[in-house]
Structure 1
Amino acid sequence: MATWQGVNEFVSVAELGSFTRAARALDLSVAQVSREVTRLEQRLHVQLLYRTTRQLTLTESGQLYLQHCRQLLDGLDEAERALSLHQAVPQGRLKLTAPVAYGESHIAPLITAFLQRYPALEIQLNLTNQVLDLVAEGYDLAIRLGHLAESSLVARRLASRRQHVCAAPAYLQRHGLPNSLSELDGHNCLLGSNDFWHLQEGGKRRLLRVKGSLRCNSGHALTHAALQGVGIVQLPDYYVARHLQRGELVELLAAYREPDEGIWALYPHKRQLSPKVRMLVDELAARLPGFVPPAALQHGLGQADVLVQETGEGMAAHTVDGGVVGQ
């Protein structure tokens, strides 16, 4: 008689590439995961994994078994989702994290509306610019901004953001309009926590070192300084779009702008994704692209947001308010 025992452990090991990562994702000890995979191999009378001190690879039988297990587990996911939608009442506790400024202006208002529809749900929202280990610290979901590298987390793109180089008309009247990247050398560029702006020239990404009289880790504060004519800034659209529309800021060097960056939902392996998390992610994906923050949140001061780069089992964070970071 077929049984599920050991299947989750085997699939996690195969997909995450190690017993340690699988144990962390499943909230089990490494010994438990190893024991369940060994029992599964014994029950099937076949070796599924080649184990050495340096690497872990699938046997031919393991590859075949993994393919069928994925189909079965994906079907189980869909069955749970269908049941959740049938019940249509997400409940219980949900823990997520988001960068401070973007979380205050965009995520928190949407979560408030979500809770009003589903009062049986309890959400813990941690706004921080620290990059947290979702599995180790018990988070269901993280919102991240910018470019993502490979990781064991699942990433879903929710929306996009665009970086703008801009300045106030008063500044441009005094100092002139830069028409090329080299002309930025003669201008006062307002900085975030690093000396680089991300731009594009000749179809290639370029890290441009800039300098100026103000360095600040608040995108709102840098926006205010630009509006006062202090200098030129590079900031995401959710800080400056309305000022560009009103003519209070003027976009510069649009031909050198990088392609739009992603705004992402990150969560542990999809088979750990509960229906309530899936419903919240679906809600954010549906509403964030056209969402306009309440006016009170648009004008408040906030800390810098975070660009996250996923690397293996860890994550490295770089501050991006006041210009996208360099490495």
Structure 2
Amino acid sequence: LGNISIRALLIFIDVYETQNFSVVARREGISASQVSRVIHQMEDVLGQQLFYRNTRAIIPTESGHLFIRYARAMTGSMEEARRELNERTLEPSGMVRINAPVFFGQRHVAPALPGLTERYPKLSIELTLTDDYIDPHREPADVIFRIGVLTDSAFHARVFGQQFYHLAASPDYIRRHGMLG
């Protein structure tokens, strides 16, 4: 079975409804012969004549009447999928798996989550806090926070800030063990 494009289905639906190649051609910004060619190609792929044609009329055949239901269902499903995908880009939804080191996650990530889920109620968040090495290829995580240098260039990373380490000792420790050197 050959391919039938969504555009060809839309042209078929338009021809079915208007029963006029010229009207469809004007709407699509193409020639009537191109509309006719699209219909012929579709008929070849389906192995069925979809329209009776003569100099005065274009009339759907029984196969055309049957196929219109499927064409409308397919284009309707595509439109519904497009609409749903657009809605997802407008409002984030679904599960987001976040992995972070324990202290960093407790201090910086976890406090931000209630505000995030309040702002995006269709979003579910699974937070895993671990100091173990995480293999991003094997662990199911959408966002991984790590402190250090990115070792795999296949991943996208963003620097959030710098981490500074301090070595501190109490006066009693210094008296007993000497100044840290």
Which structure: greater helix fraction? Answer: 2
* TM-score normalised over the length of structure 2: 0.45
* TM-score normalised over the length of structure 1: 0.26
Which structure: greater strand fraction? Answer: 1
Q: Which has the higher contact order (CA 8 A, sep 6+)?
A: 1
Q: For the pair shown, which has the larger CA radius of gyration, 1 or 2? A: 2
